[in-house]
Amino acid sequence: MKRMLIWSIAGLALGAVIVVAGADGPKWSGWHGHRWDHFGPAGYLAHELNLSDAQMEQIRTIWLAEKPTVAHLLREVVAEGEEMDAATAQGSRDNPKVEEIAARQGASIAQLLLEKEGLESKIYTSVLNTEQRTKADEIQRRWHARLGQIADRLEK
């Protein structure tokens, strides 16, 4: 159960990082040919928040500064996941070793979440205007509500 929770949190953190990272991704026309589609998942947020090209460039600059730290943390999480797989291979389980790996993995995920929150905070305070902040808050409320619905369905 703990491992599932840790991986769920890691998945959410990674998802958030990927959304922001999409702004730095390949510049191809995607889904429906809208101007904002070529930014991948970040394009949805750019469209919903009605970001200007200047704001997109500010976000890209912020992301490029944070990218090495995020990449390092992701490498740590992946390496720890591989260690966990090795420690539990073929149904064996060395509890002290698994607990030690899980603790390190938890610390790496916590650092990744802190980086994500710092990145979001920088964008929220230095890039978005008041109207965009209100819209971003609404998007975040919808996201949390959706996660709550998913949790409710899992409990049934």
Q: What pLDDT digit, counting tens, does each position of 64-107 carry?
A: 999 999 999 999 999 999 999 998 888 888 789 999 999 999 99
Which pLDDT belongs to residue 83?
93
Q: Which of 11-15, 111-115, 127-131 has the lowest mean pLDDT?
A: 11-15
Average pLDDT over residues 106-132: 95
* CB 3, CB 83: distance < 8 Å: no
Query: Taking 50 as the threshold, does the pLDDT of residue 122 lie above it?
Result: yes
- pLDDT higher than 50, residue 34: no
Using DSSP's 3-state secondary structure scheme, residue 155 falls into helix
Predicted local distance difference test score (pLDDT) of residue 15: 56
Reduced to 3 states, what is the DSSP secondary structure of residue 49? coil
Distance separating alpha carbons of residues 109 and 13, to the nearest angstrom: 8
SS3 28: coil
What is the DSSP-derived secondary structure letter of residue 25? S
CA distances for 15 relative to 56, 93, 156, angstroms: 19, 29, 25
Q: pLDDT at position 28, please? A: 41
**Predicted confidence (pLDDT) at residue 26 exceeds the cutoff of 80:** no
